[in-house]
A and B are shown apart, each in its own frame.
Chain A
Amino acid sequence: MRFLMTTTKADPPDDKLVVEMDRLVEEMTRKGVLLAAGGLDPAGTHVTSSGGKITVTDGPFTESKETILSFALVEVRSKEEAIELAKRFWQIVGNGEGAIRQVYGPE
């Protein structure tokens, strides 16, 4: 099963965090569970489509509560495993918020 883990709020990273996160990413890659990961530019571009009209607005946005800051796509065998991975991630990051969503797959 694949899960997309996202963060929407997180403490700014310091050097220690970067080192520890690199180690976690390396370990998870080695385990064959981390498929892809990345950080996102919070500015971005907002797109709405309504009644055939598509509106594109460049950020940054003041209401950034839902803005995804980073993501990790993992392949695990259960939701519980995904949660365990998320716990290890957040122990490194510290304070923040995020989500774990299952990606529909062939299972």
Chain B
Amino acid sequence: MTVPEVHRAVDAVWRLESARIIAGLARLVNDVGLAEELAQDAVVAALRQWPESGVPPNPGAWLMATARHQAIDRIRRSERLQRKLELLGHEARQQQQSAIFGGQPDLDAVVEGEGVADDLLRLMFISCHPVLSTEARVALTLKLLGGLPAGMIARAFLSTEPAIAQRIVRAKRTLASKQIPFEVPPEPERAARLASVLEVIYLIFNEGYTATAGDDWIRPELCYEALRLGRMLAELSPAEPEVHGLAALMEIQASRMRARLGPAGEPIPLLEQNRGAWDQLLIRRGFAALLRAERLGRPPGPYMVQAAIAACHARAQCAEETDWERIVALYELLSALTPTPVVELNRAVAVAMAFGPARGLELVEPLTARPELRDYHLLPSVRGDLLARLGRHEEARTEFARAASLARNARERAALLGRAAACPPGAGTPDG
């Protein structure tokens, strides 16, 4: 096997298996930073050995066993970690077929062992720990659970590789210095900690779905990364309705990915999209996830409600068939759960669709005083749209122009300027 072939194979194995390897090691050494280092060392060993020996039949298990050997070596060498060795000896006695202490290593048991799911869940919780900044949580999650190299994360977030690498190093140091335990948090804090995990995953999704800055409006690879994390979490934590709610929301939103961009890369609004280009497989997966969430029989949380809204759109064969009254009801529910101005704005849009632009505009007006929305381009964009539908084109043009000046994404800006230009001049002034 040639060296570049081995490199590509190792890359692929790494991205598929690194999360579970790091998770398993982290439980062993109780330090995610060290766990990742050990896993990386195993990759270096693979790059050295595999060109000679060929890629082993189960490369993930090979990496895990190698990293575990290195972990044991390191622990043995370190006086400081003497106590951990005792713990390990204890664990080894329990797992008679352990790859390290057993005579004939059962490599599958190391990787496929019962605890893998729990270890992955612990890794998710610690990567999204509230002691870290949001940016650090995102970077660490993509690195440790997505297996993405720092350079790729940097490109996705329009940052530089050293900056992201630095952020990850600091995050791992913070976790170590604050002695954050590698655990699934106990009940009192579990809900809040889970909310942080969900938030990080959805943040990654949204950064891909509607990139806040840069030239491309969507970055599909980030969406797929988040989707993958969401699906993974749904399998790891099946009793949590919001986990399925988030998975459902992302599946359904991702189903529109192909329809959201025009031939020149311009964004196409939901109601104008070619629904034939929506991915029915993802829609069905979304419905299934939403059903799983509902079957748990608990009061719906914000992700479930948002997924239910997305499902309303997915169910409509054409834009005219959209059940806007149901969407309004869902937005009312959502705004009771998360009363943010952005939710209010979306509720106004739904109300306008269900009961006419004048009713929508009534709800939008008070939002213009909200400081949180002062620089939010979608507020003037929605206002412009409602004004245009009321025939108040002069005002609409001003709003679209203002929205364009606030939009940070080039594609979105161009689309808004296009709408401003499309307003007929001299017509529909407030008094005329």
Contact = CB atoms under 8 A, between A and B. Distances in A.
Given A32-B227, A32-B230, A32-B231, A81 B236 contact: no
A94 to B, nearest CB: 13
A77 B220 contact: no
Nearest to B117: A30
A51 interface: no
Nearest to B8: A80
Interface stretch (B11-19, B94-102, B336-344): B11-19
A88 B59 CA distance: 10
A43 to B, nearest CB: 25
Q: How large is the interface on A (under 10, 10 to 19, 20 to 34, 35 or more residues)?
A: 20 to 34
B57 interface: yes
A83 interface: yes
Interface string A95-107: 0000000000111
A75 B59 CA distance: 20
A17 interface: no
A84 B9 contact: yes
Most buried by A among B59, B112, B235: B235
Given A32-B230, A32-B231, A81-B15, A106 B258 contact: yes
Query: At the interface, is chain B mostly helix, strand, loop or mixed?
Result: helix
B59 A84 contact: yes
Nearest to B285: A35
Interface string A60-90: 0000000000000101111011011100100
B232 interface: yes
Contacts of B261: 106
Interface string A37-68: 00000000000000000000000000000000
Interface in B221-260: 221, 224, 227-232, 235-236, 257-258
B281 interface: yes
A83 B12 CA distance: 9
Nearest to B228: A32
- Counting from the closest, the 8 A-B pairs by CB-CB distance are A32-B231, A80-B12, A30-B235, A32-B228, A106-B258, A106-B257, A81-B12, A84-B12
Given A35-B281, A35-B285, A107-B220, A77 B229 contact: no
Contacts of B12: 78, 80-81, 83-84
